[in-house]
């Protein structure tokens, strides 16, 4: 097999195309109609359903599953999409094992929940395959809103605003929309270009225009937007990557995991994606797991995921951790990076063992080294843009319970805000709820203007 040349053993084409295709197949295969009916029959249709409480978008889960069970699949999709317009993607990427399915009474009683995520995908895929959009726009309000960022929060906000009859212009820094769903999710969780298909379907409501290549601070100015629009919603996500704060992290082939995942998702062919023979991923969240697993699926011989705290402290769920180990990833807990050194044709990463004493992380004094061709940093992101006048708290935009910032006509949601938690479903909920509050404020203005 031919490999492309690269420094320190980072090459493409470690596996042939057939094996790569197998490795990156759908993590959870879609349900057939018969399988969906069988799965829906397990639901107790709880009156006071704990699964609904566990869902950040509060989808009426018992209702949509009952609708599948009774054969009204389009109605089921509308139930889902009325609360979560990106319900198709969330059905694929949501950590249901720690949200709705963990709360399922079947899980509590039997250790096997109703397959809520796969049932949600069954319903939403069905309606999208027929190119049906179950929502209509109200008559034009004459109001126009600027949305910054075409990620989950921005899209959810824009769609909800469009249903109210407002016109929306989305300014997106990249040349393609979707945000995290397009650039930051593992390829085996979202294949067949689904993020773009869902985006096009969402835009079919009408009243939403996206302008690409428009970044805050360079191409667009927030002060000017305030003059030009009736309201602004910021859903730009996080573009900065946190530092390891250790010697040598600037060395060649010490890369950001988010960039690695993005390049993989945007590659014309998986055969062209370069990966090291020996990969070390540093971090404990979903990005770290996605980077580690995909390195292994691309053909890396040895992949180690190193996290500074214990297994129960990882933000990636136990399910995700088990998925990683099942693919051959070695997870090392309680270790923090100290130094990266270039050693001839490899990188040598020195770690110090840690322990938690009185809720504080401390080093034990013991160390170990891992040899690597590639080191991937996945220790969180930050708000790299400077946004004038907005209140910033802990490196993110401060918002109230309605998503409103300290400036009266600016709202924000998703990963860039203080209440964000790096989940698509949470970003959707925040974008939707901000849109409802924006509409409420605009309706008051319209009423006042009409007096």
Do 306 and 364 fall into the same domain? yes
For residue 61, how far is the Cα from the chain centroid?
21
Residue range of the domain that includes 435? 144-239+383-449
CA separation for the pair 359, 356 (Å, rounded): 6
Q: pLDDT digits over 325-352, tens only?
A: 999 999 999 999 999 999 888 999 999 9
Last residue of a domain, one of 129, 156, 190: 129
Give the pLDDT confidence score for residue 191 in this predicted structure: 87
Q: Where are the alpha helices (DSSP H) in 301-340?
A: 318-326
DSSP codes of every residue in 152-206: HHHHHHHHHHHHTT-EEEEEESSSS--THHHHTS-TTTS-TTHHHHHHHHHHTTS
Q: What is the CATH number of the domain that holds 411?
A: 3.50.50.60
Do 42 and 85 fall into the same domain? yes
For residue 341, how far is the Cα from the chain centroid?
32
Helix axes 152-163, 424-449, angle to 10 degrees: 30
**Which whole-number Å values give the CA distances from 11 to 5, 15, 276, in the listed order?**
6, 11, 6
Do 85 and 125 fall into the same domain? yes
Do 413 and 440 fall into the same domain? yes
Do residues 409 and 442 make contact, with C-beta atoms less than 8 angstroms apart?
A: no
Do 151 and 228 fall into the same domain? yes
Last residue of a domain, one of 322, 346, 378: 378
Residues listed for the chain: 451
Please give the DSSP secondary-structure letter assigned to residue 103.
Answer: H
203 occurs within a structural domain: yes
DSSP codes of every residue in 1-35: ------GGGEES-SS-HHHHHHHTS-SSPPPPHHH
Do 340 and 254 fall into the same domain? yes
pTM for the complete prediction? 0.94
* Cα angle, residue 186 at apex, residues 157 and 200 outer, rounded to 5°: 40
CA separation for the pair 390, 387 (Å, rounded): 6
CA separation for the pair 200, 88 (Å, rounded): 13
- Number of separate domains in the chain: 3
Do 249 and 369 fall into the same domain? yes
Residues of the chain with pLDDT below 50 are 1-6
Give the pLDDT confidence score for residue 1 in this predicted structure: 39
Q: pLDDT digits over 8-44, tens only?
A: 689 999 999 999 999 999 998 999 999 999 999 999 9
């Amino acid at each position: 097999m031919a490999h492309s040349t690269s420094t320190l053993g980072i090459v493409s084409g470690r596996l042939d195309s057939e094996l790569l295709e197998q490795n990156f197949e759908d993590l959870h295969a879609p349900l057939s109609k018969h399988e969906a009916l069988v799965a829906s029959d397990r639901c107790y249709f709880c009156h006071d359903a704990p699964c609904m409480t566990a869902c950040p978008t509060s989808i009426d889960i018992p209702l949509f599953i009952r609708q599948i069970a009774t054969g009204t699949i389009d109605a089921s999709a509308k139930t889902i999409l009325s609360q979560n317009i990106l319900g198709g993607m969330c059905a694929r990427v949501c950590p249901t094992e720690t949200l709705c399915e963990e709360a399922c009474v079947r899980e509590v009683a039997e250790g096997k929940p109703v397959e809520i995520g796969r049932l949600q995908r069954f319903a939403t895929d069905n309606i999208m395959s027929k190119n049906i959009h179950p929502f209509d726009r109200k008559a034009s309000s004459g109001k126009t809103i600027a949305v910054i960022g075409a990620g989950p929060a921005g899209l959810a906000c824009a769609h909800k605003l469009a249903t109210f009859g407002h016109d929306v212009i989305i300014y997106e820094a990249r040349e393609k929309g979707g945000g995290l769903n397009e650039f930051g999710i593992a390829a085996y969780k979202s294949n067949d270009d689904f993020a773009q298909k869902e985006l096009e379907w969402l835009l079919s409501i009408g009243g939403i225009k996206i302008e690409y290549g428009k970044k805050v601070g360079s191409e667009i100015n927030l002060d000017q937007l305030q003059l030009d629009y009736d309201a602004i919603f910021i859903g730009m996500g996080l573009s900065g990557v946190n530092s390891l704060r250790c010697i040598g992290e600037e060395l060649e082939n010490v890369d950001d995991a988010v960039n690695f995942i993005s390049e993989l998702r945007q590659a014309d062919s998986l055969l062209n994606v370069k990966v090291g023979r020996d990969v070390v991923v540093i971090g404990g969240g979903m990005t770290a797991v996605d980077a580690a697993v995909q390195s292994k699926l691309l053909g890396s011989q040895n992949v180690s995921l190193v996290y500074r705290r214990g297994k129960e402290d990882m933000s990636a769920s136990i399910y995700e951790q088990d998925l990683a180990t099942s693919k051959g990833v070695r997870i090392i807990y309680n270790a923090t990076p100290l130094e990266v050194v270039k050693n001839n044709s490899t990188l040598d990463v020195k770690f110090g063992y840690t322990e938690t004493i009185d809720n504080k992380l401390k080093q034990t004094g013991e160390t170990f080294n891992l040899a690597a061709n590639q080191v991937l940093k996945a220790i969180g992101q930050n708000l790299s843009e400077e946004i004038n006048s907005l209140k910033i708290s802990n490196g993110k935009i401060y918002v109230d319970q309605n998503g409103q910032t300290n400036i009266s006509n600016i709202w924000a949601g998703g990963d860039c805000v203080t209440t964000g938690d790096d989940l698509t479903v949470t970003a959707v909920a925040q974008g939707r709820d901000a849109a409802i509050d924006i509409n409420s404020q605009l309706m008051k203005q319209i009423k006042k203007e009409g007096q």
